[in-house]
Amino acid sequence: MSADSATNPSGDVAAEDSGETHKNARKSVVAVDADDNDLEIVNRLEAHMGDGIRHRAFTALIFDEDENILLAQRAPTKRLWDTYWDGTVASHPNPGQSQEEATRQRLEDELGISPDQYDDLRQTDKFEYKRYYPQEGVEHEVCAVLKLTLTDTSLDPVEEEVGGLMWVPYERLYENPRWYRQLRLCPWFEIAMRRDFELEE
């Protein structure tokens, strides 16, 4: 597992978008070491503030049977990387939850994808990265990559989570990023995609 880091370009990080308590302040994530071993349960909002706390996460890449990848735009209400395009969902497993269980739950909660629409969910990679989002927060994650192919591409996205959806030829997206420069891609997806193609070489 390799690490991908970046320095903080913005100095102090804002704790809140407003005076109201952010919903992530009521959630927890699993802090881990560089080898993805459990350390402790930490507050999810605090894990994404300041210099961050390394924690467990996942990103799931969803394909159709023609090798197109489903890009999902993060809703504008997201605190970090709002309106950026992800490929396809990303989140954090709850304490005691496996990456596969967390992925299945997130697919259903965000996109209305049920387990009978795929049968090949598997973990293909894992990496550590750190990225700052100016004035708002940081991601410092040990991120598992999971992949699956939909045999039924019916979707029912939740507006609070997803701003838009787009099927894109996966190989063309990787090989010709200038064609898609108008799409701001989430950093963890860019890393996962690059590593995915490098692993195949």
Active site positions, annotated: 141
Q: Are 144 and 35 in contact (CB under 8 A)?
A: no
| Token couple for 48 | 């994404």
Dihedral angle, C-alpha 189, 192, 198, 201, nearest 10 °: -100
**Rounded Cα–Cα distance for residues 60 and 145 (Å):** 6
Question: Residue 13: which residues within 8 A CB-CB, separation 6 or more?
Answer: 49, 50, 132, 135, 136, 137, 138
Alpha-carbon span 100 to 107, nearest angstrom: 11
